[in-house]
Structure formats: structure tokens, C-alpha cells
Amino acid sequence: MDSLYHRKSIRKYKDTPISNKDLESILEAAVRASNTGNMQLYSIVVTTDAGIKQQLCEQAHFNQSMVAKAPVVLTFCADLHRFTQWCSMRNAEPGFDNFLSFFTATIDAVIAAQTACVAAESLGLGICYLGTTNYNAQNIIDILQLPPLVIPVTTVVVGYPDESPDVTHRLPMEAVVHYQTYTMPNNQTIEQWYTPKEQLEESVRFVAENNVQNLAQVFTQKRYTTQNNKVFSQKLLEVLYKQLCMNNQ
Ligand SMILES: Cc1cc2nc3c(=O)[nH]c(=O)nc-3n(C[C@H](O)[C@H](O)[C@H](O)COP(=O)(O)O)c2cc1C
């Protein structure tokens, strides 16, 4: 519990490699996670090769340097290919080239990813997720040679920490947890929950650096703009249709 309560993302890594034994323990823990129908509709691509990490860094992850620097990069993919192939070989008509199956496989992949993260952190390693996977899925498909029905869902870099950042802020529990039924927040409770976040030194700095009026505008005008959300949604949808061989199902 202590390590879960104090965990934080790590973005700077030492050169120290991760032993095969530790890497295998992390992967075995990930594969032991719950998954839909025990179909294991995901695959994990382990990248340790410096050249491939560099390609991923430049072509898929907007040059986030931790991708090239961390000793291990794990790409968690929704994988409907392996199960479909097995069904086809056994005279069982597969029907997994659709959105529901993708969504299910995505959940499996994310649960495996988070389990790998907890396992890695328990061994003294640091991790950071990379949302850029969803922006540049096609580049990852090309670099990692993913076949049809396999879609990268999230990426995690793993390595020995070369920094010790502070634990980051969270909203109060009552903002996130609802008992029995959903409680609608009113503007007053939103004020109470978000004002402390807005007053953090880091938030004040973000606002100044981005030359906007407040923290919410950092998110809407700089980090996650409507325009980008729309463009990258369209790009991801195109990858999904292609990779799942779907026709507007
Ligand atoms: C799905 C997902 C995508 C993320 N993508 C990135 C990323 O591309 N780059 C990055 O530096 N951090 C990324 N993060 C890390 C978050 O910024 C971080 O978890 C959040 O700010 C909270 O900080 P903490 O993990 O240290 O508590 C991602 C986290 C998640 C869960």
C-alpha cells in the first residue's frame, strides 16, 4: 500500500539495464492479470534494441527522450489476431473484427500494462506511460510490424530512476468516488475541488509559461486542444478501420 500511495511517474532513467530475470518477472505478473474470458486478447512487444527505441522515440512518441533512454519500452497491444487465427484453425467462425472486440481487447491490454507497472515499481524500477501511442498508432504498427487485428493501445517505459520527483496532486476522494449512485457536482463543489489544484506552485507556473488566464485554459488551449483531439481522433479511427478490416460497423 505504501508504494502504491507514494508512486510517481519517472521520466529520467539511468543507463543500468534491467536483468532478464526482473524483466521476465514483470511480464509474468502482467500475463497473470485478469482478462476477458481468459482469451488474452493482447500482446506485449518488448523493445530493448537501441535502434528500434530511437525510431519509436522519433517517429511515434514526439521525441520524448525517455523512450530512447529507458532500457525497456513495452508496447501493449489489443491483439485479436492470435485468437482469430486459433479459431479459424479449429473450424470455429471468429467474429472479432469489430469495435466491441477491440474495446474488450483494449481493456485487457491496459490491465496487463498496469499490472506490469505495479510489478516493475515493486522491484524498485520507475515507469512512465506514453499517450503518444494513440496519436501515432500507424507509425508504431509499421515499426513493430504489427499484423492486421493488432493495435497498439499504450506504451510504458521502464528503467532505474535517475530523478526523484514529488508525488503529484490528486483531487479529493469525494470528487472521484461516488457511493451507491452518482452525485452531481455543483459549481461550488467544483470550486472546492479544483481551487487547491489551481493554487499549486506548478499550476501557477504553467499558466504563466503558457501565457493563458488559468489552469483549465492550459488544458484546452495548449495541451489537449479541440483541434488536436479531432485530428488525432480521425487518425486513430482510420487506423482502427484499417487494422480491424471494418466497414463502419
Ligand atoms: C495513458 C497515459 C498516458 C500518458 N502519457 C504520457 C506522455 O506521453 N508523456 C509523459 O511525460 N507522461 C505521460 N503520462 C503520465 C501522466 O502525465 C502522469 O501519470 C500524471 O501526470 C500523474 O503523475 P504521476 O503518475 O507522477 O502521479 C501518461 C499517463 C497515462 C496513464
List, in order of start, the domains of the chain with CATH numbers.
2-166 (3.40.109.10)
Tell me the three cell numbers of residue 190.
Answer: 467544483
Q: If you measure from the C-alpha of residue 62 to the centroid of ligand 1, how many angstroms do you get, rounded to a whole number?
A: 14
Report d(CA 207, CA 214) in Å as an integer. Answer: 6
For ligand 1, atom 25, name the residue with the nearest CA.
Answer: 9
pLDDT tens, position by position, 41-58: 999 999 999 999 999 999
Q: If you measure from the C-alpha of residue 94 to the centroid of ligand 1, how many angstroms do you get, rounded to a whole number?
A: 35
| Per-residue pLDDT tens digits of the chain, which is 249 residues long | 988 999 999 999 999 999 999 999 999 999 999 999 999 999 999 999 999 999 999 999 999 999 999 999 999 999 999 999 999 999 999 999 999 999 999 999 999 999 999 999 999 999 999 999 999 999 999 999 999 999 999 999 999 999 999 999 999 999 999 999 999 999 999 999 999 999 999 999 999 999 999 999 999 999 999 999 999 999 999 999 999 987 654
For ligand 1, atom 9, name the residue with the nearest CA.
Answer: 130
Evaluate: CB of 131 within 6 angstroms of ligand 1.
yes
Closest CA to 116 of 179, 43, 209: 43
Q: Which atom of ligand 1 is nearest to the CA of 132?
A: 8
Element (H, E) at 7: none
Query: What pLDDT does 249 receive?
Result: 45
Beta strands in the chain (DSSP E): 42-47, 72-79, 126-130, 150-159
Q: What is the CA radius of gyration of the chain?
A: 20
For ligand 1, atom 18, name the residue with the nearest CA.
Answer: 9
Tell me the three cell numbers of residue 174.
Answer: 469525494
For ligand 1, atom 7, name the residue with the nearest CA.
Answer: 130
Q: Which atom of ligand 1 is nearest to the CA of 62?
A: 8
